[in-house]
Amino acid sequence: DEDELEEALGGSLADFLGALPHFSLVWPEGAQLEAAEGGQVDPKALMKPEPADEDLTGPGTRTLFTVSEREDLWRVVLQGPHATVEIPEIEFSIRPQANRRVDTIYNMIAGAIFHLGDHVQKNRRLGGDLSEEQAALICETIDQLNTLLDAETPFTFLLLDPQGVSELKPSIGTHVGPLEEPRGESDPAAQGCVA
């Protein structure tokens, strides 16, 4: 039942889909509005297609967001198949997967924690070539990532996408600019983001 669904979602289906970065809403216009029964006008939800691997022709984007409170961790991220997430404060990157990924900032970091811990455990169990020093460094990174999930200290969430398909929703407080070639740390243009 539609009413039960909207109650479970805490709003309309259109509002829910509009909050997801991989959907766009198209509202009826003109003759479609006039033909609507009883003045009831519902939008049409369209899922954005995945870009082809060879489609790197679009302008790349650099999306910068400062996670400053716990609620920010629940923002939804559309990570394109070639996009990289960076957290500069701890010099950490989440490399792209084969497909686009839709997840929250919290779940992306929690997933990285899980995969790093799993990597260390498997190497220890199977006698891999991971040294104790390397394992300790990975465990230190896991601790730093766990600290980020506490959201006690603000940190930067940087989304670098050569295809320009990645998004962060809600987009309030994000700074989106063109993706430029990597520059040295001393270059002042590399420090800021074009809004």
Confirm whether 78 is domain-assigned. yes
Whether residue 56 lies inside any domain: the answer is no
pLDDT, the chain, mean: 81
pLDDT at residue 185 in the model: 44
One domain for residues 106 and 154: yes
Residue 85 lies in a domain: yes
Domain containing residue 143: 61-191
Residues 31 and 81 placed together within one structural domain of the fold: no
Q: Is 156 in the same domain as 109?
A: yes
Tell whether 168 and 83 lie within a shared domain: yes
Top pLDDT among 185 and 100 is at 100
The lowest-confidence range among 88-92, 163-167, 173-177 is: 163-167
Mean pLDDT of 47-57: 63
pLDDT of residue 36: 57
Query: Could you report the per-residue pLDDT of 67-118, keeping only the tens digit for each?
Result: 999 999 999 999 988 899 999 999 999 987 778 888 999 999 999 999 999 9
Q: Regarding predicted confidence, which is higher, 37 or 111?
A: 111
Q: What percentage of residues in the chain have a pLDDT greater than 90?
A: 44
Answer yes or no: is 172 within a domain: yes
- The enclosing domain of 101 has a CATH number of 2.60.120.1040
- Name the range with the highest mean pLDDT among 46-60, 79-93, 94-108, 123-137: 79-93
Q: Are residues 32 and 98 in the same domain?
A: no
17: in domain: yes
- Whether residues 32 and 124 share a domain: the answer is no
**Would 53 be classed as within a structural domain?**
no
When divided into structural domains, the chain yields a total of: 2
Secondary structure of the chain in the HEC alphabet?
Answer: CHHHHHHHHCCCHHHHHHCCCCEEEECCCCHHHHHCHHHCCCCEEEECCCCCCCCCCCCCEEEEEEECCHHHHHCEEEECCCCEEEEHHHCEEECCCCCCEEEEHHHHHHHHHHHHHHHHHHHHHCCCCCCHHHHHHHHHHHHHHHHHHHCCCCEEEEEEECCCCCEEECCCCCEEEECCCCCCCCCHHHHCCCC
Are residues 67 and 151 part of one domain?
Answer: yes
Indicate whether 33 pLDDT > 60: no
On whether residue 55 sits in a domain, the answer given is: no
- Does residue 97 or residue 159 have the better pLDDT? 159
Distance separating alpha carbons of residues 114 and 108, to the nearest angstrom: 10
* Sign of the CA dihedral running 74, 66, 149, 47: positive
